[in-house]
């Protein structure tokens, strides 16, 4: 859903430039897009067949599920070719979907990871990452070199047809004044569901007792969370507009250190408290360079 979040900001920019956008995603993702763009054309497309684990690293999980993922990428190329031809698409922008590429029109790969930081066998991922990226005509890097929010992840001097497009967030043009924010401590319950209990415990252990505590997330995420403290407000909703209002008014936001969340927090101008998701090297790195809690 982090990819959905940053694509909202991207679509806003594209539509402002008089482009007509068509968005592909699964049912939950398309519901969110429709919230912000009621008239946008949507195409149903499945997510990657990948399940997160609470016991092993992200890349161990990736390795264990590699066969079905590779099969999906091959099928995704045929799907991309089909919808581009049927809908007379002029340009494809793939937000880190390796198989969403076709020879029928120019294709752009959207990412903030030019330089993944990996060790050992995980470096195999870098080989495939670079191989699949070369299938695209252009690479758009979601970062601003003068801000360098992604740190070393977005740095590379060896790539052609690569362009930095700045940060992407639906909060970029929202009026924000840190002085006027309410002294709320808000927990954004996002990321893999298997790690939500860890996120909640980190929130409780780091949040001051005297602050108003609010947990925001989907109804499914909220209902699955074991919260015994009756003073904590739980708000379960699939309407991101409601979530946006709470984020805009809160002085303190606790969340996993996903890159899309980091971009949102940059524009929200609140006090951010990043908690790296267990076993995810990228989130650990981002939380370290931004000096937040672990």
In tens, the pLDDT along 126-171 reads: 777 888 899 999 999 999 999 999 999 998 767 789 999 999 999 9
Whether the pLDDT of residue 293 is over 60: the answer is no
pLDDT band for position 292 (50/70/90)? low
Q: Give CATH for domain 178-289.
A: 3.40.50.2000
Residues 180-237 have pLDDT tens digits of 889 889 999 988 888 899 999 999 999 988 888 999 999 988 988 877 777 889 999 9
Average pLDDT, the chain: 88
Mean pLDDT to the nearest integer, 77-99: 95
Write out the E strands in the chain.
Answer: 22-25, 41-44, 92-95, 107-111, 138-141, 162-164, 182-188, 212-217, 233-236, 250-256, 271-275
Mean pLDDT to the nearest integer, 247-265: 94
pLDDT of residue 30: 95
Residue ranges per domain, the chain? 48-164, 178-289
Share of the chain above pLDDT 70, in %: 90
Whether the pLDDT of residue 294 is over 60: the answer is no
């Amino acid at each position: 859903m982090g990819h959905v979040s940053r694509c909202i900001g991207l679509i806003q920019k594209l539509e402002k430039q008089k482009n007509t956008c068509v968005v592909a995603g699964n049912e939950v993702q398309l519901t969110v897009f429709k919230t912000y763009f009621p008239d946008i054309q949507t195409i149903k497309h499945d997510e990657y067949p990948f399940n997160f684990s609470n016991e092993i690293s992200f890349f161990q999980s990736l390795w264990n599920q590699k066969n079905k993922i590779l099969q999906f990428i091959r099928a995704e190329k045929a799907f991309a070719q089909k919808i581009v031809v049927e809908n007379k698409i002029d340009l494809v922008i793939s937000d880190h979907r390796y198989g969403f590429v076709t020879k029928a029109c120019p294709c752009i790969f959207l990412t903030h990871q030019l330089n993944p930081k990996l060790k050992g066998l995980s470096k195999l991922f870098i080989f495939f990452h670079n191989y699949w990226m070369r299938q695209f005509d252009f690479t758009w890097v979601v970062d601003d070199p003068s801000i360098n929010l992604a740190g070393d992840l977005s740095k590379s001097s060896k790539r052609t047809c690569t362009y930095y497009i700045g940060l992407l967030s639906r909060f970029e043009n929202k009026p924000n004044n840190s002085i006027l924010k309410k002294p709320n401590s808000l927990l954004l319950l996002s990321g893999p569901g298997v790690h939500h209990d860890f996120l909640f415990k980190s929130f409780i252990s780091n949040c001051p007792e005297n602050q108003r505590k609010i947990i925001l997330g989907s109804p499914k995420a909220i209902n699955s969370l074991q919260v015994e403290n009756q003073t904590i407000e739980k708000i379960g909703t699939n309407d991101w507009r409601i979530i946006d209002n709470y984020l805009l008014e809160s002085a303190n936001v606790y969340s996993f250190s996903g890159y899309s969340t980091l971009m949102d927090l940059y524009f929200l101008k609140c006090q951010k408290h990043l908690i790296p998701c267990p076993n995810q090297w990228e989130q650990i790195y981002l939380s370290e360079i931004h000096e937040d809690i672990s």
